[in-house]
Amino acid sequence: MIVTRFAPSPTGHLHLGHAHSALVGWHRARAVSGRFLLRIEDIDPARCRPEYDVAILEDLAWLGLDWAGPIRRQSDHLSDYEAALGRLRGLGLLYPCFCSRKDIAAAVNAPHGPEGPVYPGTCRGLPAQIAVTRQERGEPYALRLDVAKAQMMTGPLTFTDERQGVVEARPETLGDVVLARRDAAASYHLCVTLDDHLQGVTLVTRGIDLFHATHIHRLLQAILDLNVPTYAHHLLLTNAAGERLSKRDGAMALRALRQAGRSAAEVRALAGFPGQVPEARTDT
């Protein structure tokens, strides 16, 4: 059975780009009597707010979408992420990094990746004794994945993207990503990969902006023995200026459109899905 999901972060109101993503996943499941799940990615307490969580559910329901089973909220499952971090630590694949964002941007040898400067590995070779002393002194640190070491364990990996076919995973292009921070129990990469497995997701439908992240997720799947879903990275909706929609395009927020008198059908059409929402199939 096809299981898809929509996994917004409650850091703001849903906009048309989110609606597009949600509708892609919902239609794919609905077309084959599969399951469409909802997950609230609220792992980062500094950025997430409960009122956005409530608003997301309201907006999706208004749009005509429904989802199967209970909603998974990441903040309810911290022990799952801790257990995964424990496994990675046990395999010697995590190391503490004391660098600030500024340090990384300023590093002369920082290579440039698809999403900006790639962490140059400054703390990777830090002697354990020094790392422990700095941690004990209370210096803030993040835990990073030693990607090269992980790749040595897994060997070459691939994943399937519906538009691009079989893709060779190249997690090294994002560098040693952060998997946990002082102020957030675990990072997006770890949580999303684990959650898709735990929720039994078979088809991950999400924007092409997360294509590079998938390479890291594939590596984590191999290390943590997780299921490997198929991916459908969809193109992003753009605004009139041809730029991808973001939370800054306030007028494109679903609730702003609703308040301006647009119907749900009109908003679905603006989000790339004209026509009626199909009824659930009962023939299979």
What dihedral angle (degrees, nearest 10) is formed by the CA atoms of 111, 117, 122, 124?
Answer: -90
Among 7, 22, 29, 94, binds ligand GLU (CB under 6 A): 7
The one segment of 6-14, 150-158, 218-226, 252-260 that binds ligand GLU by CB under 6 A: 6-14
* Total residues at interface with ligand GLU (CB under 6 A): 7
- Of the candidates 72, 181, 247, 258, the residue annotated as catalytic is 247
The answer to whether residue 206 forms part of the interface with ligand GLU (CB under 6 A) is yes
Separation of alpha carbons 145 and 45, rounded Å: 22
| Residue (of 109, 44, 104, 29) closest to 75 by Cα position | 44
The answer to whether residue 233 forms part of the interface with ligand GLU (CB under 6 A) is no
* Least distance (Å) between residue 268 CB and ligand GLU: 19
Site for ligand GLU in 153-192 (CB under 6 A): 192
Q: If DSSP codes are grouped into helix, strand and coil, which group holds residue 226?
A: coil
Residue type, 181: R
Choice between 151 and 214, CB closer to ligand GLU: 214
Choice between 13 and 206, CB closer to ligand GLU: 206
The answer to whether residue 121 forms part of the interface with ligand GLU (CB under 6 A) is no
The one segment of 2-10, 46-54, 101-109, 152-160 that binds ligand GLU by CB under 6 A: 2-10
- Using the structure block, give the residue that is written with the tokens 């496994």: 87
The answer to whether residue 203 forms part of the interface with ligand GLU (CB under 6 A) is no
Among 2, 3, 4, 8, binds ligand GLU (CB under 6 A): 8
Choice between 210 and 265, CB closer to ligand GLU: 210
Q: If DSSP codes are grouped into helix, strand and coil, which group holds residue 23?
A: helix
Phi, psi of 253, rounded to the nearest 5 degrees: -65, 140
- Give the N- to C-terminal CA distance of the chain in Å, as an integer: 11
Active site residue 247: yes
Choice between 110 and 214, CB closer to ligand GLU: 214
The one segment of 1-9, 98-106, 136-144, 147-155 that binds ligand GLU by CB under 6 A: 1-9
DSSP label of 184: B
Choice between 123 and 271, CB closer to ligand GLU: 271
Q: Is 278 exposed, middle or buried (0-12, 13-18, 19+ CB in 10 A)?
A: exposed
Residues written for the chain: 284
What dihedral angle (degrees, nearest 10) is formed by the CA atoms of 66, 70, 73, 75?
Answer: 160
Site for ligand GLU in 36-65 (CB under 6 A): 41
Separation of alpha carbons 180 and 191, rounded Å: 10
Separation of alpha carbons 252 and 16, rounded Å: 6
* Least distance (Å) between residue 44 CB and ligand GLU: 10
The answer to whether residue 10 forms part of the interface with ligand GLU (CB under 6 A) is no
Q: Are 153 and 223 in contact (CB under 8 A)?
A: yes
The answer to whether residue 17 forms part of the interface with ligand GLU (CB under 6 A) is no
Residue ranges in contact with ligand GLU by CB under 6 A: 7-9, 41, 192, 206, 210
Residues noted as catalytic: 247
